Chains A and B, each alone.
Chain A
């Protein structure tokens, strides 16, 4: 069996000090060679591994025949944002995990091929002329411009509905612009995907906080349906002593300063961030890796990830853990912070940690960490970044009567994305809690279809029947 084609990456020593993209993508020859590794299974197992059900062998076949236009057509029929998914999907637990080639050797590099096809289109073909269907005369408000909102807006516009996309921040893209760093997902790519969505006729309204400016109920006076794709943006803190010291950041704040506000170009950009010599990042997911790797690039002498379980339990993409190690990030595993200490000026100086031991798996199937009594010890730090999770922002549930939420603050929705309120749908992290880009997109797409059905049904109903739930 032919070996999987490696993707060129920026040299670790060089990339430690720049924010340019780390992975450089395949060359044309590599892409063809990798595409030809796919054995075109009659019953392809890979497809079931993709949350949006891309016909993987079909797009790879086009690439193997060097027909990139056809490949991108095939991809885009199921996934509006292939350049993004090709870069950030956790392929090793999704499509590539179930590729047959993976049983004996290495799976086809589906994500890298997807990325190549999308980049090829952006560089060489440019977006084709967009067909606009006949307007249905129905108006839909989409709230939040992350992957869920962008996908829902695009799908609804393609169905001929008039769509307005509301975003609280000054840039569209959600986590793709404020969280995931430039070196992993260049913002120009997100920007071109946003422009594509706008080209479909979606009206983008930035700087608009729904729940403050207009409530969902007010939107429903003007729009026939509302989709909520507001993500899970509320940072969770640990609740330990010293968390409000200066120099202690939530990952959201640190990453927003660095990525959205471009603090790495301070003072060219006005927003500052503390550079820190010894930086500790608490957590083991993508968010922790991104924070640690940003800190390295900002010039920290020592960056350490503190995680309470072992490396195998880390939820971050494997590739990013490897990248972080190559860039010099240290890993302090089986360790949990218990206290943060500061000086008289309120600056963080030390972090107290406790060693942990893994015991039998818990409900989530992961091994449960148990503290080792008496193992407290101190680490010197001047910046601490807490990356232990986020939950949905309560702003919309608080201001929307009858919108049911779970005890985790997520909006309760059925499999179509319908919430407890008629005409109000939701999807992405706001429904599932922090998850993945592709699952948010999948939810956006499903809800768009359900909204379309609802609107068609509403069209045929008399006014008295409108209170019936569309199912």
Chain B
């Protein structure tokens, strides 16, 4: 069953937006959930968060960053091409309930999946404060979309080319030190960033949710590849998560397990580039 790519373009260097025709998934998708796709028969199954969906048009939008073979291969596909498999919606939806202010923290490509969560909070009338960050201004994505769904929006860049010169956590700390009551912090981004966020919010005792990106195969709870340690218990990120209480997550384990196939991934990427660009080795 091929799944058609309806739209595909680069938003910022190495980060792409791709919209897929998948009416059934669009009908069921909720903020916080993800899909697993496979490009073709020899492809790997990779998870991507649902960054947006349109129930009427029957479309699901994902944002992905080129990091290895599969995402590079995806990056050169175009509208009109098809993916062999597109499964979802997987994982548990974000909890969206009326509350005091929520702070949404998105880093790098993590800005995309934080967007539907921010939008859902806004839609039920919660006050949404967002902090989005990137290494550099030219890598910052969806500033306009985030602006629309946030009551306050802060921008940070590592190199100071836009907004606050520094990290999202600098702004987060300042906000928490202020007077406004905050009921929840939700953070999606690189594991290292989410760990820092957890460290910053912990002393304030504010509930903090992170979305874990452990390595997955099936995404249905069948293999245990995605296991993470939360509150001393082994959990499967694909079915028990992907969102967890940040203060209970063992980030060191997560980061170590993400490195498990580093050699193989390098090998696969080199092979792929040799094939595409002609071999220099």
> Which positions in A face B, CB cutoff 8 Å?
168-170, 178, 205-209, 212-214, 233-235, 237, 243-244, 246-247, 249-250, 252-253, 256-257, 261-262, 266-272, 274, 345-346, 393-395
Contacts and interface: CB of A to CB of B under 8 A. Distances in A.
B43 A235 contact: no
Interface range, B side? 35 or more
A212 B89 contact: yes
Nearest to B222: A233
Contacts of A205: 1
Contacts of B223: 235, 250, 252-253, 256
B264 A244 contact: no
Nearest to B68: A270
Nearest to B73: A270
Contacts of A345: 256, 259
Nearest to B270: A267
- Main SS at interface, chain B: mixed
A266 B271 CA distance: 11
A346 B267 contact: no
B90 A268 contact: no
Contacts of A214: 24, 28
A269 B229 contact: no
Interface stretch (B59-67, B80-88, B95-103, B169-177): B80-88
B257 A243 contact: no
Contact of A246 (B221, B256, B265): B256
Given A207-B85, A234-B222, A266 B257 contact: no
A266 B264 contact: yes
Given A209-B87, A393-B221, A346 B44 contact: no
A168 B87 CA distance: 8
- Main SS at interface, chain A: loop
Contacts of B90: 209, 212
A212 B34 CA distance: 11
Given A244-B229, A246-B257, A169 B218 contact: yes
B45 interface: yes
Contact of A393 (B86, B220, B227, B259): B220
A209 B259 CA distance: 29
28 contacts: A170-B45, A205-B1, A207-B1, A207-B86, A207-B87, A213-B28, A214-B28, A237-B234, A246-B259, A246-B260, A250-B223, A250-B224, A252-B222, A253-B217, A256-B222, A257-B217, A266-B264, A266-B268, A270-B42, A271-B44, A271-B45, A271-B217, A272-B261, A274-B261, A346-B252, A346-B256, A393-B222, A395-B220
A277 B85 CA distance: 34
A451 to B, nearest CB: 25
A206 B1 contact: yes
Interface string B1-32: 10000000000000000000000110010000
Nearest to B24: A213
Nearest to B89: A212
A268 B86 CA distance: 21
Given A209-B88, A395-B239, 5 more contacts: A170-B45, A206-B1, A252-B224, A345-B259, A395-B220
B107 to A, nearest CB: 24
Contacts of B86: 207
Contacts of A235: 222-224
